[in-house]
Structure 1
Amino acid sequence: MMTVLAALGFADSYFVSSAYFTTLTRGASSQIVFGFEYAILLALVLHVTIKYLLHMHDLRNTQSWDNKAVYLLYAELFINLVRCILYGFFAVIMLRVHTFPLFSVRPFYQSVRALHKAFLDVVLSRRAINAMNSQFSNVTAEELTAMDATCIICREEMTAESSPKRLPCSHVFHAHCLRSWFQRQQTCPTCRTDIWRKFVQIS
Protein backbone atom coordinates (compact mmCIF):
# COMPACT_ATOMS: atom_id res chain seq x y z
CA MET A 1 0.00 0.00 0.00
CA MET A 2 2.75 2.44 0.92
CA THR A 3 4.60 1.56 -2.31
CA VAL A 4 1.52 2.38 -4.38
CA LEU A 5 0.97 5.64 -2.50
CA ALA A 6 4.64 6.60 -2.88
CA ALA A 7 4.52 5.87 -6.63
CA LEU A 8 1.34 7.93 -7.05
CA GLY A 9 2.79 10.77 -4.98
CA PHE A 10 6.01 10.75 -7.02
CA ALA A 11 4.09 10.73 -10.33
CA ASP A 12 1.83 13.60 -9.25
CA SER A 13 4.80 15.61 -7.96
CA TYR A 14 6.64 15.06 -11.24
CA PHE A 15 3.67 16.19 -13.32
CA VAL A 16 3.11 19.27 -11.11
CA SER A 17 6.74 20.32 -11.43
CA SER A 18 6.69 19.60 -15.17
CA ALA A 19 3.60 21.78 -15.65
CA TYR A 20 5.18 24.53 -13.54
CA PHE A 21 8.47 24.67 -15.47
CA THR A 22 6.70 24.31 -18.83
CA THR A 23 4.55 27.34 -17.95
CA LEU A 24 7.65 29.33 -16.93
CA THR A 25 9.56 28.55 -20.11
CA ARG A 26 6.77 28.53 -22.74
CA GLY A 27 4.17 30.79 -21.16
CA ALA A 28 0.55 30.19 -20.18
CA SER A 29 -1.04 27.10 -21.73
CA SER A 30 -3.27 24.15 -20.85
CA GLN A 31 -0.42 22.95 -18.61
CA ILE A 32 -1.73 25.33 -15.93
CA VAL A 33 -5.00 23.38 -15.77
CA PHE A 34 -3.23 20.03 -15.77
CA GLY A 35 -0.78 21.19 -13.12
CA PHE A 36 -3.52 22.17 -10.69
CA GLU A 37 -5.41 18.92 -11.34
CA TYR A 38 -2.25 16.99 -10.47
CA ALA A 39 -1.87 19.14 -7.34
CA ILE A 40 -5.42 18.21 -6.27
CA LEU A 41 -4.61 14.54 -6.87
CA LEU A 42 -1.42 14.93 -4.82
CA ALA A 43 -3.50 16.31 -1.93
CA LEU A 44 -5.79 13.28 -2.25
CA VAL A 45 -2.79 10.93 -2.10
CA LEU A 46 -1.57 12.76 1.00
CA HIS A 47 -4.99 12.36 2.62
CA VAL A 48 -5.12 8.62 1.92
CA THR A 49 -1.55 8.25 3.23
CA ILE A 50 -2.38 10.02 6.49
CA LYS A 51 -5.50 7.91 7.05
CA TYR A 52 -3.62 4.70 6.22
CA LEU A 53 -0.82 5.52 8.69
CA LEU A 54 -3.35 6.33 11.42
CA HIS A 55 -5.21 3.05 10.83
CA MET A 56 -1.94 1.08 10.84
CA HIS A 57 -0.86 2.75 14.10
CA ASP A 58 -4.23 1.85 15.62
CA LEU A 59 -3.92 -1.79 14.50
CA ARG A 60 -0.43 -2.08 16.01
CA ASN A 61 -1.64 -0.86 19.42
CA THR A 62 -2.67 -3.56 21.86
CA GLN A 63 -5.17 -1.17 23.46
CA SER A 64 -7.84 0.97 21.85
CA TRP A 65 -6.48 4.29 20.56
CA ASP A 66 -9.00 6.87 21.75
CA ASN A 67 -7.46 9.82 19.88
CA LYS A 68 -7.57 8.19 16.44
CA ALA A 69 -10.84 9.90 15.46
CA VAL A 70 -9.43 13.28 16.54
CA TYR A 71 -6.48 12.96 14.18
CA LEU A 72 -8.81 11.80 11.38
CA LEU A 73 -10.97 14.89 11.91
CA TYR A 74 -7.99 17.23 11.78
CA ALA A 75 -6.59 15.43 8.73
CA GLU A 76 -9.93 15.94 6.96
CA LEU A 77 -9.91 19.61 7.94
CA PHE A 78 -6.33 20.11 6.75
CA ILE A 79 -6.79 18.42 3.36
CA ASN A 80 -10.02 20.30 2.62
CA LEU A 81 -8.26 23.55 3.51
CA VAL A 82 -5.44 22.67 1.09
CA ARG A 83 -7.97 21.90 -1.65
CA CYS A 84 -9.76 25.23 -1.14
CA ILE A 85 -6.45 27.11 -1.27
CA LEU A 86 -5.46 25.31 -4.48
CA TYR A 87 -8.78 26.08 -6.19
CA GLY A 88 -8.63 29.70 -5.07
CA PHE A 89 -5.04 30.06 -6.29
CA PHE A 90 -5.99 28.44 -9.60
CA ALA A 91 -8.88 30.90 -10.12
CA VAL A 92 -6.58 33.88 -9.43
CA ILE A 93 -3.96 32.67 -11.90
CA MET A 94 -6.54 31.92 -14.59
CA LEU A 95 -8.03 35.40 -14.17
CA ARG A 96 -4.59 36.93 -14.70
CA VAL A 97 -3.62 34.93 -17.77
CA HIS A 98 -6.92 34.10 -19.47
CA THR A 99 -10.44 34.25 -17.96
CA PHE A 100 -12.46 32.99 -15.02
CA PRO A 101 -12.51 29.14 -15.03
CA LEU A 102 -16.21 28.29 -14.84
CA PHE A 103 -15.48 24.56 -14.83
CA SER A 104 -13.78 24.91 -11.42
CA VAL A 105 -16.78 26.51 -9.68
CA ARG A 106 -18.50 23.23 -8.79
CA PRO A 107 -15.42 21.42 -7.32
CA PHE A 108 -14.44 24.63 -5.49
CA TYR A 109 -17.96 24.90 -3.99
CA GLN A 110 -17.83 21.23 -2.96
CA SER A 111 -14.43 21.78 -1.33
CA VAL A 112 -15.73 24.79 0.60
CA ARG A 113 -18.74 22.76 1.81
CA ALA A 114 -16.45 19.89 2.84
CA LEU A 115 -14.18 22.32 4.68
CA HIS A 116 -17.17 23.86 6.47
CA LYS A 117 -18.43 20.41 7.50
CA ALA A 118 -14.98 19.32 8.70
CA PHE A 119 -14.63 22.52 10.75
CA LEU A 120 -18.08 22.01 12.32
CA ASP A 121 -17.24 18.38 13.11
CA VAL A 122 -14.11 19.46 14.97
CA VAL A 123 -15.94 22.22 16.90
CA LEU A 124 -18.98 20.08 17.80
CA SER A 125 -16.91 17.07 18.86
CA ARG A 126 -14.70 19.20 21.14
CA ARG A 127 -17.79 20.88 22.61
CA ALA A 128 -19.49 17.54 23.29
CA ILE A 129 -16.34 16.06 24.88
CA ASN A 130 -15.83 19.14 27.09
CA ALA A 131 -19.47 18.93 28.22
CA MET A 132 -19.04 15.24 28.98
CA ASN A 133 -15.92 15.85 31.07
CA SER A 134 -17.25 18.80 33.05
CA GLN A 135 -21.06 18.51 33.11
CA PHE A 136 -22.20 14.91 32.70
CA SER A 137 -22.46 13.02 36.01
CA ASN A 138 -20.64 9.81 36.85
CA VAL A 139 -22.73 6.74 37.61
CA THR A 140 -22.15 5.04 40.97
CA ALA A 141 -21.78 1.32 41.61
CA GLU A 142 -25.22 1.22 43.27
CA GLU A 143 -26.83 2.74 40.20
CA LEU A 144 -25.06 0.26 37.93
CA THR A 145 -26.39 -2.72 39.89
CA ALA A 146 -29.95 -1.43 39.45
CA MET A 147 -29.70 -1.25 35.66
CA ASP A 148 -28.36 -3.04 32.62
CA ALA A 149 -24.67 -2.21 33.03
CA THR A 150 -23.63 -3.19 29.50
CA CYS A 151 -22.11 -0.38 27.42
CA ILE A 152 -23.71 -0.77 24.00
CA ILE A 153 -20.75 0.90 22.28
CA CYS A 154 -18.13 -1.69 23.29
CA ARG A 155 -20.56 -4.38 24.55
CA GLU A 156 -18.60 -4.75 27.81
CA GLU A 157 -19.75 -4.54 31.41
CA MET A 158 -19.43 -1.13 33.06
CA THR A 159 -17.93 -0.74 36.52
CA ALA A 160 -17.65 2.28 38.80
CA GLU A 161 -13.86 2.26 38.29
CA SER A 162 -14.32 2.92 34.55
CA SER A 163 -16.17 6.20 35.36
CA PRO A 164 -19.31 5.62 33.28
CA LYS A 165 -21.14 8.80 32.26
CA ARG A 166 -24.87 9.51 32.20
CA LEU A 167 -26.05 11.52 29.19
CA PRO A 168 -28.85 14.13 29.42
CA CYS A 169 -31.19 11.50 27.91
CA SER A 170 -30.35 9.22 30.91
CA HIS A 171 -28.43 6.56 28.93
CA VAL A 172 -25.12 5.43 30.41
CA PHE A 173 -21.85 4.51 28.66
CA HIS A 174 -18.13 4.19 29.32
CA ALA A 175 -16.41 7.60 29.36
CA HIS A 176 -13.71 6.50 26.89
CA CYS A 177 -16.33 4.97 24.58
CA LEU A 178 -18.32 8.22 24.62
CA ARG A 179 -15.18 10.21 23.86
CA SER A 180 -14.53 8.14 20.73
CA TRP A 181 -18.22 8.30 19.77
CA PHE A 182 -18.44 12.09 20.14
CA GLN A 183 -15.42 12.51 17.91
CA ARG A 184 -17.53 11.07 15.08
CA GLN A 185 -21.04 12.26 15.96
CA GLN A 186 -22.76 14.10 18.78
CA THR A 187 -25.87 12.01 19.33
CA CYS A 188 -26.77 9.39 21.91
CA PRO A 189 -25.71 5.93 20.65
CA THR A 190 -29.02 4.48 21.88
CA CYS A 191 -31.79 7.00 21.14
CA ARG A 192 -29.96 9.31 18.70
CA THR A 193 -30.85 12.40 20.74
CA ASP A 194 -28.79 15.49 19.91
CA ILE A 195 -26.65 15.65 23.05
CA TRP A 196 -25.77 19.34 22.93
CA ARG A 197 -29.35 20.47 22.23
CA LYS A 198 -30.68 18.22 25.01
CA PHE A 199 -27.99 19.48 27.39
CA VAL A 200 -28.88 23.13 26.66
CA GLN A 201 -32.58 22.43 27.23
CA ILE A 202 -31.94 20.80 30.60
CA SER A 203 -29.46 23.41 31.82
Structure 2
Amino acid sequence: MRLALFGVVSTVLTIYTLINAYIQRGQFFSTCIYISHSNASILVLFSMAIYVFIVVCKIIQKIFFGPLRAIEIEHLYERSWYAVTELCLALTVFRGEFSAKFALLLTVLIIMKIFHWLMQDRIDFMEQGINQSWLFHIRICSVIIILLLLDTILLTWTLDYTLKFGISMVIVLGFEYTILWSNALTGLLKYILHSIDLRRENPWENKSMYIFYIDLVREFFVLVCYVIFFAVIVHRYGLPLHLIRDLYVTFRSFIQHCRDLIHYKKATRNMNERYPNATLEDLTENDNICIICREEMTIQEDNNSSDVPKKLRCGHIFHLRCLKSWLERQQSCPTW
Protein backbone atom coordinates (compact mmCIF):
# COMPACT_ATOMS: atom_id res chain seq x y z
CA MET A 1 0.00 0.00 0.00
CA ARG A 2 2.80 2.41 0.92
CA LEU A 3 4.70 1.50 -2.25
CA ALA A 4 1.59 2.13 -4.36
CA LEU A 5 1.05 5.52 -2.69
CA PHE A 6 4.71 6.40 -3.25
CA GLY A 7 4.36 5.39 -6.90
CA VAL A 8 1.24 7.50 -7.46
CA VAL A 9 2.79 10.59 -5.86
CA SER A 10 6.07 10.15 -7.77
CA THR A 11 4.27 9.64 -11.09
CA VAL A 12 2.04 12.72 -10.62
CA LEU A 13 4.97 14.91 -9.60
CA THR A 14 7.09 13.65 -12.50
CA ILE A 15 4.38 14.34 -15.08
CA TYR A 16 3.77 17.80 -13.62
CA THR A 17 7.51 18.58 -13.60
CA LEU A 18 8.01 17.53 -17.23
CA ILE A 19 4.94 19.35 -18.51
CA ASN A 20 5.73 22.51 -16.56
CA ALA A 21 9.34 22.55 -17.79
CA TYR A 22 8.26 22.05 -21.42
CA ILE A 23 5.65 24.83 -21.17
CA GLN A 24 8.26 27.23 -19.83
CA ARG A 25 10.96 26.41 -22.39
CA GLY A 26 9.02 25.15 -25.40
CA GLN A 27 11.89 23.04 -26.79
CA PHE A 28 13.17 19.61 -25.88
CA PHE A 29 16.83 20.58 -25.51
CA SER A 30 16.03 23.68 -23.46
CA THR A 31 13.67 21.64 -21.30
CA CYS A 32 16.43 19.11 -20.52
CA ILE A 33 18.83 21.88 -19.55
CA TYR A 34 16.20 23.50 -17.33
CA ILE A 35 15.47 20.21 -15.54
CA SER A 36 19.16 19.39 -15.06
CA HIS A 37 19.73 22.76 -13.35
CA SER A 38 16.66 22.52 -11.09
CA ASN A 39 17.28 20.75 -7.78
CA ALA A 40 13.56 20.22 -7.23
CA SER A 41 13.14 18.62 -10.67
CA ILE A 42 16.13 16.35 -10.13
CA LEU A 43 14.73 15.26 -6.75
CA VAL A 44 11.35 14.41 -8.32
CA LEU A 45 12.97 12.42 -11.15
CA PHE A 46 15.24 10.66 -8.67
CA SER A 47 12.23 9.56 -6.58
CA MET A 48 10.55 8.28 -9.74
CA ALA A 49 13.70 6.35 -10.67
CA ILE A 50 13.73 4.76 -7.20
CA TYR A 51 10.10 3.69 -7.61
CA VAL A 52 10.74 2.16 -11.05
CA PHE A 53 13.83 0.40 -9.67
CA ILE A 54 11.83 -1.08 -6.76
CA VAL A 55 9.06 -2.26 -9.10
CA VAL A 56 11.58 -3.95 -11.41
CA CYS A 57 13.23 -5.68 -8.44
CA LYS A 58 9.84 -6.90 -7.17
CA ILE A 59 9.02 -8.30 -10.60
CA ILE A 60 12.35 -10.14 -10.67
CA GLN A 61 11.68 -11.41 -7.15
CA LYS A 62 8.24 -12.73 -8.16
CA ILE A 63 9.70 -14.50 -11.19
CA PHE A 64 12.66 -16.19 -9.50
CA PHE A 65 11.53 -16.56 -5.87
CA GLY A 66 7.75 -16.24 -5.77
CA PRO A 67 6.18 -15.23 -2.44
CA LEU A 68 8.72 -14.62 0.32
CA ARG A 69 8.48 -16.36 3.67
CA ALA A 70 8.26 -14.30 6.85
CA ILE A 71 11.76 -15.33 7.94
CA GLU A 72 13.17 -14.23 4.57
CA ILE A 73 11.59 -10.80 4.88
CA GLU A 74 12.93 -10.47 8.41
CA HIS A 75 16.44 -11.41 7.25
CA LEU A 76 16.23 -8.88 4.41
CA TYR A 77 15.43 -6.03 6.80
CA GLU A 78 18.19 -7.00 9.23
CA ARG A 79 20.87 -7.51 6.59
CA SER A 80 19.88 -4.50 4.51
CA TRP A 81 20.28 -2.05 7.40
CA TYR A 82 23.64 -3.55 8.27
CA ALA A 83 24.84 -3.49 4.63
CA VAL A 84 23.75 0.12 4.09
CA THR A 85 25.48 1.16 7.33
CA GLU A 86 28.70 -0.57 6.30
CA LEU A 87 28.66 1.09 2.88
CA CYS A 88 28.03 4.51 4.42
CA LEU A 89 31.03 4.02 6.70
CA ALA A 90 33.13 2.92 3.72
CA LEU A 91 32.14 6.09 1.86
CA THR A 92 33.83 8.16 4.56
CA VAL A 93 37.15 6.83 3.29
CA PHE A 94 36.30 7.63 -0.34
CA ARG A 95 34.26 10.80 0.22
CA GLY A 96 36.48 12.76 -2.18
CA GLU A 97 35.73 10.35 -5.05
CA PHE A 98 31.97 9.97 -4.58
CA SER A 99 29.77 10.87 -7.56
CA ALA A 100 26.37 10.05 -9.10
CA LYS A 101 28.00 7.23 -11.09
CA PHE A 102 29.26 5.52 -7.94
CA ALA A 103 25.90 6.08 -6.23
CA LEU A 104 24.28 4.08 -9.03
CA LEU A 105 26.94 1.36 -8.77
CA LEU A 106 26.41 1.11 -5.00
CA THR A 107 22.65 0.80 -5.55
CA VAL A 108 23.25 -2.08 -7.95
CA LEU A 109 25.55 -3.66 -5.35
CA ILE A 110 22.85 -3.53 -2.68
CA ILE A 111 20.33 -5.12 -5.04
CA MET A 112 22.82 -7.87 -5.84
CA LYS A 113 23.31 -8.48 -2.12
CA ILE A 114 19.55 -8.78 -1.61
CA PHE A 115 19.20 -11.48 -4.26
CA HIS A 116 22.20 -13.34 -2.84
CA TRP A 117 20.57 -13.31 0.60
CA LEU A 118 17.32 -14.66 -0.82
CA MET A 119 19.24 -17.39 -2.64
CA GLN A 120 21.01 -18.42 0.58
CA ASP A 121 17.74 -18.56 2.53
CA ARG A 122 16.08 -20.70 -0.15
CA ILE A 123 19.00 -23.13 -0.23
CA ASP A 124 19.04 -23.35 3.58
CA PHE A 125 15.30 -24.09 3.41
CA MET A 126 16.14 -27.23 1.41
CA GLU A 127 18.05 -28.56 4.43
CA GLN A 128 14.73 -29.25 6.15
CA GLY A 129 14.35 -32.23 3.84
CA ILE A 130 11.10 -31.11 2.22
CA ASN A 131 10.74 -32.24 -1.39
CA GLN A 132 10.30 -29.17 -3.58
CA SER A 133 8.46 -28.82 -6.87
CA TRP A 134 10.25 -28.74 -10.22
CA LEU A 135 9.47 -25.01 -10.43
CA PHE A 136 11.46 -24.42 -7.24
CA HIS A 137 14.50 -26.18 -8.71
CA ILE A 138 14.21 -24.31 -12.02
CA ARG A 139 14.03 -21.01 -10.18
CA ILE A 140 16.90 -21.65 -7.79
CA CYS A 141 19.16 -23.03 -10.53
CA SER A 142 18.43 -20.01 -12.72
CA VAL A 143 19.15 -17.62 -9.85
CA ILE A 144 22.46 -19.30 -8.98
CA ILE A 145 23.65 -19.31 -12.60
CA ILE A 146 22.60 -15.70 -13.22
CA LEU A 147 24.19 -14.46 -9.99
CA LEU A 148 27.44 -16.31 -10.68
CA LEU A 149 27.54 -14.84 -14.19
CA LEU A 150 26.79 -11.29 -13.00
CA ASP A 151 29.30 -11.54 -10.14
CA THR A 152 31.98 -12.69 -12.58
CA ILE A 153 31.22 -9.91 -15.08
CA LEU A 154 31.14 -7.16 -12.44
CA LEU A 155 34.24 -8.48 -10.69
CA THR A 156 36.12 -8.58 -14.01
CA TRP A 157 35.03 -5.00 -14.73
CA THR A 158 36.24 -3.73 -11.36
CA LEU A 159 39.62 -5.43 -11.82
CA ASP A 160 39.99 -4.00 -15.33
CA TYR A 161 38.99 -0.52 -14.11
CA THR A 162 41.48 -0.66 -11.24
CA LEU A 163 44.33 -1.78 -13.52
CA LYS A 164 43.60 1.06 -15.95
CA PHE A 165 42.91 3.95 -13.55
CA GLY A 166 44.54 2.83 -10.32
CA ILE A 167 43.11 2.28 -6.84
CA SER A 168 39.88 4.16 -6.27
CA MET A 169 36.42 3.66 -4.83
CA VAL A 170 35.91 0.84 -7.36
CA ILE A 171 38.10 -1.37 -5.18
CA VAL A 172 35.23 -1.51 -2.67
CA LEU A 173 32.97 -2.88 -5.40
CA GLY A 174 35.63 -5.40 -6.40
CA PHE A 175 35.95 -6.62 -2.82
CA GLU A 176 32.18 -6.88 -2.38
CA TYR A 177 31.67 -8.75 -5.65
CA THR A 178 34.46 -11.15 -4.74
CA ILE A 179 32.60 -12.01 -1.52
CA LEU A 180 29.30 -12.30 -3.41
CA TRP A 181 30.93 -14.58 -5.99
CA SER A 182 32.14 -16.89 -3.21
CA ASN A 183 28.62 -16.86 -1.70
CA ALA A 184 27.05 -17.81 -5.03
CA LEU A 185 29.58 -20.61 -5.57
CA THR A 186 28.98 -21.87 -2.03
CA GLY A 187 25.24 -21.77 -2.68
CA LEU A 188 25.70 -23.85 -5.83
CA LEU A 189 27.69 -26.52 -3.99
CA LYS A 190 25.17 -26.66 -1.14
CA TYR A 191 22.28 -26.91 -3.61
CA ILE A 192 23.96 -29.89 -5.28
CA LEU A 193 24.44 -31.61 -1.92
CA HIS A 194 20.85 -30.96 -0.80
CA SER A 195 19.49 -32.17 -4.14
CA ILE A 196 21.45 -35.41 -3.88
CA ASP A 197 20.25 -35.92 -0.30
CA LEU A 198 16.58 -35.35 -1.25
CA ARG A 199 16.82 -38.08 -3.87
CA ARG A 200 18.29 -40.66 -1.50
CA GLU A 201 16.06 -43.15 0.26
CA ASN A 202 18.12 -43.04 3.44
CA PRO A 203 19.53 -39.90 5.13
CA TRP A 204 22.96 -38.89 3.89
CA GLU A 205 25.06 -38.89 7.05
CA ASN A 206 28.16 -37.27 5.53
CA LYS A 207 26.29 -34.36 3.95
CA SER A 208 26.58 -32.14 6.99
CA MET A 209 30.35 -32.62 7.08
CA TYR A 210 30.65 -31.71 3.41
CA ILE A 211 28.66 -28.54 4.11
CA PHE A 212 30.90 -27.83 7.09
CA TYR A 213 34.02 -28.09 4.91
CA ILE A 214 32.44 -25.87 2.24
CA ASP A 215 31.68 -23.20 4.85
CA LEU A 216 35.19 -23.53 6.30
CA VAL A 217 36.86 -23.04 2.91
CA ARG A 218 34.59 -20.10 2.14
CA GLU A 219 35.38 -18.42 5.46
CA PHE A 220 39.10 -18.85 4.83
CA PHE A 221 38.67 -17.29 1.37
CA VAL A 222 36.70 -14.36 2.84
CA LEU A 223 39.33 -13.89 5.55
CA VAL A 224 42.08 -13.69 2.93
CA CYS A 225 40.04 -11.16 0.94
CA TYR A 226 39.51 -9.04 4.07
CA VAL A 227 43.22 -9.07 4.88
CA ILE A 228 44.19 -8.04 1.35
CA PHE A 229 41.51 -5.35 1.18
CA PHE A 230 42.48 -4.05 4.62
CA ALA A 231 46.16 -3.86 3.65
CA VAL A 232 45.39 -2.01 0.40
CA ILE A 233 43.15 0.54 2.13
CA VAL A 234 45.69 1.14 4.91
CA HIS A 235 48.46 1.67 2.36
CA ARG A 236 46.39 3.98 0.15
CA TYR A 237 44.01 5.85 2.48
CA GLY A 238 44.99 5.18 6.09
CA LEU A 239 43.49 3.06 8.85
CA PRO A 240 39.83 2.13 8.06
CA LEU A 241 38.24 1.83 11.49
CA HIS A 242 34.99 0.37 10.12
CA LEU A 243 36.88 -2.63 8.72
CA ILE A 244 38.55 -3.62 11.98
CA ARG A 245 35.35 -5.11 13.40
CA ASP A 246 34.55 -7.07 10.20
CA LEU A 247 38.10 -8.38 10.01
CA TYR A 248 37.99 -9.46 13.67
CA VAL A 249 34.57 -11.14 13.34
CA THR A 250 35.64 -13.02 10.20
CA PHE A 251 38.89 -14.14 11.81
CA ARG A 252 37.12 -15.25 15.01
CA SER A 253 34.50 -17.19 13.02
CA PHE A 254 37.19 -18.98 11.02
CA ILE A 255 39.14 -19.89 14.17
CA GLN A 256 35.96 -21.15 15.84
CA HIS A 257 35.19 -23.37 12.85
CA CYS A 258 38.72 -24.77 13.00
CA ARG A 259 38.30 -25.51 16.70
CA ASP A 260 34.96 -27.18 16.08
CA LEU A 261 36.55 -29.36 13.41
CA ILE A 262 39.38 -30.42 15.76
CA HIS A 263 36.96 -31.17 18.61
CA TYR A 264 34.68 -33.09 16.27
CA LYS A 265 37.55 -35.24 15.02
CA LYS A 266 38.55 -36.01 18.59
CA ALA A 267 34.97 -36.77 19.67
CA THR A 268 34.21 -39.07 16.73
CA ARG A 269 37.52 -40.94 16.68
CA ASN A 270 36.94 -44.67 17.30
CA MET A 271 33.32 -44.15 18.37
CA ASN A 272 32.55 -47.87 18.27
CA GLU A 273 35.31 -48.55 20.79
CA ARG A 274 34.91 -45.40 22.91
CA TYR A 275 31.16 -45.68 23.43
CA PRO A 276 29.75 -49.12 24.40
CA ASN A 277 26.64 -50.49 22.75
CA ALA A 278 23.52 -50.13 24.83
CA THR A 279 22.13 -53.39 26.13
CA LEU A 280 18.50 -54.45 26.22
CA GLU A 281 18.45 -53.67 29.93
CA ASP A 282 19.74 -50.16 29.27
CA LEU A 283 16.97 -49.55 26.75
CA THR A 284 14.38 -51.00 29.12
CA GLU A 285 15.50 -48.90 32.08
CA ASN A 286 15.66 -45.71 30.01
CA ASP A 287 13.36 -44.29 27.40
CA ASN A 288 14.21 -46.15 24.18
CA ILE A 289 13.42 -43.10 22.04
CA CYS A 290 16.41 -41.25 20.60
CA ILE A 291 15.79 -37.58 21.48
CA ILE A 292 17.73 -36.43 18.40
CA CYS A 293 15.76 -38.19 15.67
CA ARG A 294 12.70 -39.08 17.83
CA GLU A 295 12.79 -42.69 16.58
CA GLU A 296 12.77 -45.90 18.59
CA MET A 297 16.11 -47.53 19.36
CA THR A 298 16.49 -51.30 19.09
CA ILE A 299 19.33 -53.75 19.54
CA GLN A 300 21.17 -54.29 16.24
CA GLU A 301 22.78 -57.54 15.19
CA ASP A 302 25.37 -55.67 13.16
CA ASN A 303 27.59 -53.70 15.56
CA ASN A 304 28.83 -51.53 12.69
CA SER A 305 25.33 -50.39 11.81
CA SER A 306 24.67 -46.64 12.03
CA ASP A 307 21.44 -47.40 13.92
CA VAL A 308 23.18 -49.18 16.78
CA PRO A 309 22.35 -47.44 20.13
CA LYS A 310 25.41 -46.06 21.92
CA LYS A 311 25.65 -45.28 25.63
CA LEU A 312 27.59 -42.22 26.72
CA ARG A 313 29.50 -41.88 29.97
CA CYS A 314 26.67 -39.77 31.35
CA GLY A 315 24.29 -42.70 30.79
CA HIS A 316 22.24 -41.23 27.93
CA ILE A 317 21.65 -43.37 24.85
CA PHE A 318 21.45 -42.30 21.19
CA HIS A 319 21.72 -43.77 17.72
CA LEU A 320 25.31 -43.83 16.48
CA ARG A 321 24.42 -41.79 13.38
CA CYS A 322 22.45 -39.27 15.45
CA LEU A 323 25.27 -38.90 17.94
CA LYS A 324 27.73 -38.36 15.12
CA SER A 325 25.57 -35.71 13.46
CA TRP A 326 25.07 -33.97 16.80
CA LEU A 327 28.81 -33.86 17.49
CA GLU A 328 29.25 -32.01 14.20
CA ARG A 329 27.46 -29.05 15.80
CA GLN A 330 28.09 -29.49 19.55
CA GLN A 331 30.71 -31.45 21.46
CA SER A 332 28.53 -32.16 24.50
CA CYS A 333 25.65 -34.44 25.39
CA PRO A 334 22.39 -33.33 23.67
CA THR A 335 20.53 -33.49 26.99
CA TRP A 336 22.80 -30.99 28.74
Which TM-score applies when normalising by structure 1? 0.85
What does residue 174 of structure 1 align with? 319
Within 5 Å, give how 1:132-147 maps onto structure 2: 132-147=271-286
For the pair 1:19 / 2:158, whether they are aligned, the reply is yes
Single out whichever of 91-100 and 7-16 deviates more from structure 2. 91-100
Task: State whether residues 19 and 32 of structure 1, in contact with CA within 8 Å, keep that contact through their aligned partners in structure 2.
Answer: yes
Distance 1:26 1:147, change over 3 A: closer
For the pair 1:99 / 2:238, whether they are aligned, the reply is yes
Deviations 1:136-178 (A, max 9, x none): 1111234334443222222222222142110111011111111
Tell me: higher relative CO, structure 1 or 2? Use CA pairs within 8 A at least 6 residues apart: 1
Deviations 1:60-108 (A, max 9, x none): 1110111111112111211110110001111222334343333322221
Identify the match of residue 59 of structure 1 among 198, 205, 210. 198
Distance in 1 (alpha carbons) for counterparts of 2:296 and 2:233 = 60
For the pair 1:125 / 2:264, whether they are aligned, the reply is yes
What does residue 86 of structure 2 align with? none
Distance in 2 (alpha carbons) for counterparts of 1:143 and 1:40 = 51
Tell me the SS of whatever aligns to 1:173: strand
Q: Which amino acid aligns with 1:109?
A: Y
Compute the displacement of 1:135 (Å). 1.2
Compute the displacement of 1:131 (Å). 5.8
Within 5 Å, give how 1:42-81 maps onto structure 2: 42-81=181-220
Compute the displacement of 1:20 (Å). 0.6
For the pair 1:164 / 2:309, whether they are aligned, the reply is yes
For the pair 1:10 / 2:155, whether they are aligned, the reply is no
Distance in 1 (alpha carbons) for counterparts of 2:185 and 2:316 = 39
What does residue 95 of structure 2 align with? none
Deviations 1:99-126 (A, max 9, x none): 3333322221111121112112212222
Compute the displacement of 1:6 (Å). 1.4
Q: Which amino acid aligns with 2:156?
A: S
Distance in 1 (alpha carbons) for counterparts of 2:191 and 2:249 = 24
Provide structure 1 residue ranges, at least 5 long, that are not aligned to the other structure: 193-203
Compute the displacement of 1:56 (Å). 1.7
Q: Which amino acid aligns with 2:228?
A: F
Provide structure 2 residue ranges, at least 5 long, that are not aligned to the other structure: 1-139, 301-306
User: Where in structure 1 do 4 or more consecutive aligned residues deviate above 4 Å?
Assistant: none
For the pair 1:89 / 2:228, whether they are aligned, the reply is yes
What does residue 185 of structure 1 align with? 330
RMSD between superposed Cα atoms in Å? 1.8
Q: Which amino acid aligns with 1:138?
A: N
Q: Which amino acid aligns with 2:239?
A: F
Query: Aligned pairs, how many?
Result: 191
Distance in 1 (alpha carbons) for counterparts of 2:212 and 2:309 = 25
Compute the displacement of 1:41 (Å). 1.5
Distance in 2 (alpha carbons) for counterparts of 1:102 and 1:145 = 61
Q: Which amino acid aligns with 1:182?
A: L
Compute the displacement of 1:47 (Å). 2.4
Within 5 Å, give how 1:109-124 maps onto structure 2: 109-124=248-263
Single out whichever of 51-60 and 3-12 deviates more from structure 2. 51-60
